[in-house]
Amino acid sequence: MAKVYVFDHPLIQHKMTYIRDKNTGTKEFRELVDEVATLMMFEITRDMSLEEVDVETPVATAKSKVLAGKKLGIIPILRAGIGMVDGILNLIPAAKVGHVGLYRDPETLKPVEYYVKLPNDIADRELILVDPMLATGGSAIAAAESLKTRGAKNIKFMCLIAAPEGVEAMQKAHPDIDIYIAGLDEKLNEKGYIVPGLGDAGDRLFGTK
């Protein structure tokens, strides 16, 4: 069964309060999403493997460590996932970025895929699928399926806010994908919005309605 991690770091929780606030404008919202994505990535990469190397300091040779093992791929779910990419690249600038375009049909709440472009070596990469919102779970489930169909083997899912319904659906559909969340909320409303949530993530990031 997939593990679920809810980040309780004070800096993440502090910034999430302002992300949720309806009075936070587009510019500040975008900056905060970026910052929280960086902080979450810092936690997620805690278990990355290292290897020992020798490095010459101005004084002597030091035994030191560099990252080893699988390379990363960041896969934002369009549109809103784009808001988290730069924050992640701040920490891992060499990561490759693929895109999965999905929107949620407002009537059926079912995801509709409209675009997929991925690095050609995704099978060899550790992939972080990112989207600010995990509501019914339909979008994340479909995006992960899309990645697996194209060869992905190692996926983590990272979101800002999740509803319990979405977490359960995602765990059931993809028991191999661990889920990383900054805020686990109460429920979905009748329109499939997370309560209390933050509203429509794409609209708040890009200033649309």
User: By the criterion CB under 6 A, which residues form the site for ligand URA?
Assistant: 133, 135, 192-194, 197, 200-202
Assess whether 200 carries a catalytic annotation.
Answer: yes
| CA distance linking residue 104 with residue 111, whole number of Å | 4
Task: Find the catalytic residue in 26, 105, 203, 208.
Answer: 203
Based on the shown chain and the rule CB under 6 A, indicate whether residue 201 belongs to the binding site for ligand PRP.
yes
Give the interface segment with ligand PRP, choosing from 4-12, 45-53, 86-94, 129-137 (CB under 6 A): 129-137
139 binds ligand PRP (CB under 6 A): yes
- The interface with ligand PRP within residues 34-93 (CB under 6 A) comprises 77-80
Comparing CB distances to ligand URA, the nearer of 129 and 133 is 133
Q: Which of 104, 125, 131, 204 is catalytic?
A: 104
Indicate the residue type of 45.
T
103 binds, among ligand URA, ligand PRP, none (CB under 5 to 8 A by kind): ligand PRP
> With respect to ligand PRP, which residue has the nearer C-beta, 152 or 201?
201
- In angstroms, give the least distance from the CB of 66 to ligand PRP: 35
Q: Is 108 annotated in the active site?
A: yes
* 197 interacts with, out of ligand URA, ligand PRP, none, CB within 5 to 8 A per kind: ligand URA
- The residue behind tokens 């960086």 is 38
Stretch binding ligand PRP (CB under 6 A), from 10-18, 41-49, 119-127, 131-139: 131-139
C-alpha 102/C-alpha 115 separation (Å) is 7
Phi-psi label, residue 199: left if phi above 0, alpha if psi -120 to 50, beta otherwise: left
Residue 183's binding partner among ligand PRP, ligand URA, none (Cβ under 5 to 8 angstroms by kind) is none
| H, E, C per residue of the chain | CCCEEECCCHHHHHHHHHHHCCCCCHHHHHHHHHHHHHHHHHHHHHHCCEEEEEEECCCCEEEEEEECCCEEEEEEEECHHHHHHHHHHHHCCCCEECEEEEEECCCCCCEEEEEEECCCCHHHEEEEEECCEECCCHHHHHHHHHHHHCCCCEEEEEEEEECHHHHHHHHHHCCCCEEEEEEECCEECCCCCEECCCCCHHHHHHCCC
Residue 193 interacts with, from ligand PRP, ligand URA, none (CB under 5-8 Å by kind): ligand URA
In the complex, the residues that contact ligand PRP under the rule CB under 6 A are 77-80, 103-104, 109, 111, 131-140, 166, 192, 200-202
Query: Active-site positions?
Result: 104, 108, 200, 203
